[in-house]
Amino acid sequence: AAATLQMAALAALLHTGASCALKPPLIAPTREPTRASIAIASALASKPPFEREAFNEAVMSTYGRFDLAVSHGKGCKLCDTEGNEYLDFAAGISTCTLGHADERLAAAVSEQMLRVHHVSNLYYIPQQGELARKLLATNCLDRAFFCNSGAEANEAAIKLARKHAHDKRGVEFPVIITALSSFHGRTLATITATGQPKYQEGFGPMMPGFEYVAYNDVAALEEAARKLTRRLPLGVGRKKQLAAIMLEPLQGEGGIRPGERAFFEAARRICDETGALLIVDEVQTGVCRTGCFWGYQQLGIEVDVLTSAKALGGGVPIGAMMAKAHCDVFTPGTHATTYGGNPLACAAGLAVLAAIDERALLDNVKARGEQLSSGLRTLQAAMPSVISDVRGWGLIVGIEMAEESFSAAALCSALLAKGMLTVPAGTRVLRLVPPLVVSEEEVASALGLLEAAIRELASPAT
């Protein structure tokens, strides 16, 4: 009777509308519920409906939020607190690798929680070592450092590059070249690395030691590197020298712009000639999103440092910075983290890697990515005055709207009204990043919703 009461209370808490076809899963208790747990479940079930005003009073306004409060989901579908169902082609911004409420991911995290969820990195964590070995088997790198987010992974890469320049090359003033229109995170160092002034406004002064070049511009990259390698006259200040080139294989927030092989080959050559490190930020592109396990593998090069997060935990917070042995200059005390690589986060990472292998998700990304891009190119051909470009790799695809048409935000809102979740990538590009488990039928449905929304917004122009 006690178990029945607890489950009924939880069901009332989760199930919020009859119009949503998704029924929230009910997980059988692993042990006899206590009187306290029953009381808590009952109290939660009796909570009033979600109130936006109360939320806005308590939470800082760091996001321009859509008028949508999520209740639960399954696979590529989400339901809101009012019972409406949505096809999710945002995936928490390229994060929910396995979609929502994946049973094996949930089981892995739940089982680890019942065993041990956190210990300090002062001790060996077996799950961390296993995840490191499996990740390193997918790329050209040798050692891993775990943290909690993409920004932290990029911070670790920046620190590694500076320390490598100081310790190995005797550089007094290390400089990292990044690209205009890039995005590397929200910390002070990573917004400085980000080549978009809108993210830096109001937070100055920025950190020294960063310079920017146009993405995919080989001549600009070579010129910037040349300036950082020329000799200064004696007594003329500290000499700036190139410590690293830090690039996204495909720019996400910059408009879903794939890197060009010639640009990355030039970056690799410059780093080889100067002793600088080539860093790739794979926070948004990594873990099979592009149709390769890592985005840099689309470009025919090897890298010295790679950062990852988002998809690595399937939505459970985890980040990683991986490096070749020759540039692993961290020693005890030079960099650290409290939560990074704890048993809980690593259990999630291991579950994601297992699912990628067992479900052949890389093959699915290639097939569904081709289906999506092909369908969008057909739509572009039918409405060239509205859609100016379709670009991307695998299941990270951007639709660029023509200057004379409408904004990406307008299309995003129109799709939301039709029951599809997307996210802009700049003012004119709509980003499509569904879970990697997306089906052929779901891609077809998304294409239909996109066509309907675009035609409505474009009318009477088309």
Distance CA 308, CA 152 (A): 10
User: Is residue 29 classed exposed, middle or buried when 0-12, 13-18 and 19+ CB atoms within 10 A define those classes?
Assistant: middle
Contact status, residue 95 vs residue 284, Cβ threshold 8 Å: no
Which residues, in sequence order, are CB contacts of 23 under 8 Å at separation 6+?
A: 15
The SS3 of residue 396 is strand
- The angle, 0 to 180 degrees and rounded to 10, between the axes of the packed helices 343-358 and 103-115 is 150
At 36 the pLDDT is 54
Q: What is the dihedral of CA 183, 185, 187, 193, to 10 degrees?
A: -30
Provide the whole-model pTM. 0.90
Q: Are strands 396-401 and 429-432 parallel, antiparallel or unpaired?
A: antiparallel
Mean pLDDT rounded to a whole number for the chain:
91
Which residue is it, tokens 């294409």? 447
* Alpha helices per DSSP H over 228-319: 261-274
Q: Which CA distances in Å does 263 have to 144, 195, 213, 245, 296?
A: 26, 17, 11, 12, 12
Distance CA 43, CA 35 (A): 12
DSSP-assigned letters across all residues of 54-98: HHHHHS---S---S--EEEEEBTEEEETTS-EEEESSHHHHT-TT
Provide the residue-wise pLDDT of the chain in tens; the chain has 462 residues.
444 433 343 344 334 333 677 766 554 444 455 565 555 555 555 567 889 999 999 999 999 999 999 999 999 999 999 999 999 999 999 999 999 999 999 999 999 999 999 999 999 999 999 999 999 999 999 999 999 999 999 999 999 999 999 999 999 999 999 999 999 999 999 999 999 999 999 999 999 999 999 999 999 999 999 999 865 554 445 689 999 999 999 999 999 999 999 999 999 999 999 999 999 999 999 999 999 999 999 999 999 999 999 999 999 999 999 999 999 999 999 999 999 999 999 999 999 999 999 999 999 999 999 999 999 999 999 999 999 999 999 999 999 999 989 999 999 999 999 999 999 999 999 999 999 999 999 999 999 999 999 999 998 544
User: Can you say whether residue 166 is alpha, beta or left, with left for phi > 0 and alpha for psi between -120 and 50 degrees?
Assistant: alpha
Distance CA 406, CA 379 (A): 16
pLDDT tens-digit readout, 388-424: 999 999 999 999 999 989 999 999 999 999 999 999 9
Distance CA 46, CA 426 (A): 41
Residues in the chain: 462
C-alpha 62: how far from chain center:
18
Contact status, residue 127 vs residue 146, Cβ threshold 8 Å: no
pLDDT tens-digit readout, 310-363: 999 999 999 999 999 999 999 999 999 999 999 999 999 999 999 999 999 999
Which residues, in sequence order, are CB contacts of 212 under 8 Å at separation 6+?
A: 177, 178, 179, 180, 182, 195
- The angle, 0 to 180 degrees and rounded to 10, between the axes of the packed helices 261-274 and 218-227 is 20
